[in-house]
């Protein structure tokens, strides 16, 4: 790796470094209180951020049919919830329909 390409990053509480696949660039995920206990906390967070965090912690994927919904804000906490409970909570809170397309892949309409 070229030294000019190397970058430093200071991780702070609530941040998680996630690499979805070995050949993909790692990304920073926010709102993680405790990764082992799957404790997540969101305050006035856009749905896009919530989905990104849930995808990283629960190893699932969300496909969104209406991109406008990603900008809606949400206040919620999850603590060692199942993915089914999270999907149900998000659907009710955001007034959207979420269905499982395949194991670990959810469609938001």
Q: How many CA atoms lie within 13 A of 19 on its CB side?
A: 6
- Give pLDDT tens digits for 3-62: 555 565 555 555 555 555 677 565 556 667 776 778 888 889 999 999 988 998 899 999
SS3 letters for 46-72?
A: EHHHHHHHHHHHHCCEEEECCHHHHHC
pLDDT at 2: 45
Mean pLDDT of 97-104: 96
Q: How far apart are CA 102 and CA 42, in angstroms?
A: 27
Provide the 8-state DSSP code for 20. Answer: S
Tokens found for residue 84: 């089914």
Span 60-79, pLDDT tens digits: 999 999 999 999 999 999 99
Length of the chain: 109
Our CA angle for 60, 65, 69, nearest 5°, is: 90
Domain ranges of the chain: 27-108
44's tokens: 């006035």
Report how far residue 72's alpha carbon sits from residue 46's, in angstroms, rounded to the nearest whole number. Answer: 5
User: What is the third-level CATH fold of 27-108?
Assistant: Phage tail protein beta-alpha-beta fold (3.55.50)
């Amino acid at each position: 790796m070229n030294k000019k390409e190397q970058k430093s990053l200071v991780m702070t509480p609530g941040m998680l470094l996630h690499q979805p696949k070995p050949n993909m660039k790692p990304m920073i995920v926010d709102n993680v209180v405790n990764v082992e206990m799957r404790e997540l906390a969101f305050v006035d967070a856009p749905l896009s951020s919530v989905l990104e965090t849930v995808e990283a912690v629960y190893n699932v994927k969300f496909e969104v049919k209406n991109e406008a919904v990603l900008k809606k804000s949400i206040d919620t906490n999850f603590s060692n919830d199942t993915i089914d409970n999270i999907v149900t909570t998000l659907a009710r809170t955001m007034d959207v329909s979420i269905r499982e397309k395949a194991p670990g892949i959810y469609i938001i309409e």
